[in-house]
């Protein structure tokens, strides 16, 4: 058995243990207002980190290229309260135009 299989088995066991522990936490801890506020923010933070990593990095380097323009246009469209499909399409079109210039 290779080291990769041991890594997969170990990671799977840790994931199972964390999920099991999460389900065994008493309700009184989970219903605390600070915990609920933190849980509401976790998806936003994770998505923001994903956008940042995918938009401004290339392997191990920080870059400023056509993807940054797309993020900027999307931010501007959101600031102007555009509907979500318009935000996505405008960001994609602006990024693609700069890429092909």
pLDDT digits (tens, 9 = 90+) for 6-32: 999 999 999 999 999 988 989 888 899
**CA 68 to CA 91: how far, in whole Å?**
10
pLDDT digits (tens, 9 = 90+) for 32-51: 999 999 999 999 999 999 99
Please name the helix (run of DSSP H) or strand (run of DSSP E) that holds residue 57, with its range, or none: strand 57-58
Beta bridge partners of 84: none
Q: Is the dihedral of CA 65, 67, 72, 73 positive or negative?
A: positive
pLDDT digits (tens, 9 = 90+) for 55-84: 999 888 999 999 999 999 999 999 999 999
């Amino acid at each position: 058995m290779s080291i990769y299989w041991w890594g997969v088995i170990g990671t799977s066991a840790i994931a199972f243990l964390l999920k099991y522990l999460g389900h065994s936490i008493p309700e009184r801890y989970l219903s605390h207002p600070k915990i609920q506020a933190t849980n509401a923010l976790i998806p936003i933070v994770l998505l923001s980190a994903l956008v940042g990593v995918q938009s401004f990095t290339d392997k191990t380097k920080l870059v400023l290229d056509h993807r940054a323009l797309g993020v900027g246009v999307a931010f501007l469209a959101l600031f102007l309260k555009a509907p979500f499909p318009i935000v996505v399409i405008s960001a994609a079109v602006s990024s693609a135009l700069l890429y092909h210039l």
